[in-house]
Amino acid sequence: MIHPVRIGTRASPLALKQARMVAEALRHAHGWGPEWIEIVPTTTTGDVIQDRPLSEVGGKGLWTKELDRALAEGRTDLSVHSMKDVETLRPDELVIGAMLPRADVRDRLIGAESIEALPHWGRVGTSSPRRTAQLLSRRPDLNIVAFRGNVATRLRRVAMGEADATLLAAAGLDRLGQGAVGTVIDGMLPAPAQGAIGIEVAASNKRVRELVQAIDDRPTHICISAERRLLAGLGGSCRSPVASLATLDGDAVILRAEILTNDGSEFEAGEVSFPAGDDEAPLALARHLLKQASPALNALFAGEAASS
């Protein structure tokens, strides 16, 4: 190549760490020296707007549009994303060419030993509709405080007393060397694609697509694709509380999912097992959940564009 492979990434500490993980994987796969890769940080709109939930200011596209533009204009060769932050429907000109092995999918609670240990009427900082609904489903007395910002910002806000606790993805904490922070929360399905790092490339760039294919983790790619297919079938927005997790059992994919009302008072859950590569099964599970849902729950999904 006439120039180093240029990796586009958000400029947050976690995003830069993930870009370096992709760079290291590419170097190892192809025997490259450091000079063959350049990391190109970009401050996205989602990083700039910190005072409002994403659902109020444009959704998950705020994390990706600047990186998409850099790819389209040839300023980068690939983009590195946290897959849970990538819209379900992407431009036809782009393709998720590879994913690194998935990390811990669970959340960690910071500020208390457990959800049950939180004080009555305790304040939990989060701007995630999924986390909000799951928390309120267990503890309807809790007060949810809108929290945005990177990992360090949210940890600092809890330390300053702006909330009694917050939830953060275990994968992000682990990647930042903070694996001892917080208490793992079991029994809560994660956000679709949580814990996965995706590498997106221009569909027309055969050379880069082949380069990143060498670092693709097939089990992760299969599971994340199933979870994103479920999202497409649900047709929800980033305001719609959805949780899902796909795992492999031999050649079979086991996909669990739940949809909730925003206050957690209603939910529908389901599970399906199907052969890897079956794109219809996640859609069938989505239809089943919506069919079983109450009118109030169904209204959060029916008629929405599958843009998250």
Banded model confidence at residue 45, pLDDT cuts 50, 70, 90: low
CATH number of 5-101+196-216: 3.40.190.10
Mean pLDDT of the chain: 91
Q: What is the pLDDT of residue 65?
A: 85
CA–CA gap between residue 51 and residue 180 (Å, rounded)? 28
Do domains 107-185 and 227-298 share one topology? The answer is no
pLDDT in tens, 81-137: 999 989 988 899 999 999 999 999 999 999 999 999 999 999 999 999 999 999 999
Give the tokens for residue 296. 């109030």
CATH number of 107-185: 3.40.190.10
Q: How many CB atoms lie within 10 A of CB 3?
A: 8
Which residues are annotated as catalytic? 85
Q: What is the pLDDT of residue 61?
A: 53
pLDDT in tens, 127-185: 999 999 999 999 999 999 998 788 999 999 999 999 999 999 999 999 999 999 999 99
Q: How many CB atoms lie within 10 A of CB 1?
A: 10
Closest to 18 in 3D by CA, of 41, 36, 35, 2: 41
Which of the 8 DSSP states describes residue 161? T
CATH 3.30.1280.10, domain 227-298, yes or no: no
Give the pTM.
0.91
Q: Which sequence spans correspond to the domains of the chain? A: 5-101+196-216, 107-185, 227-298
Question: What percentage of the chain carries pLDDT values higher than 70?
Answer: 90
CB-based burial label for 186 (10 Å; 0-12, 13-18, 19+): exposed
For 204-214, what is the mean pLDDT? 96
What percent of the residues of the chain are helix, what percent strand, and what percent coil, each to the nearest 5? 35, 25, 40
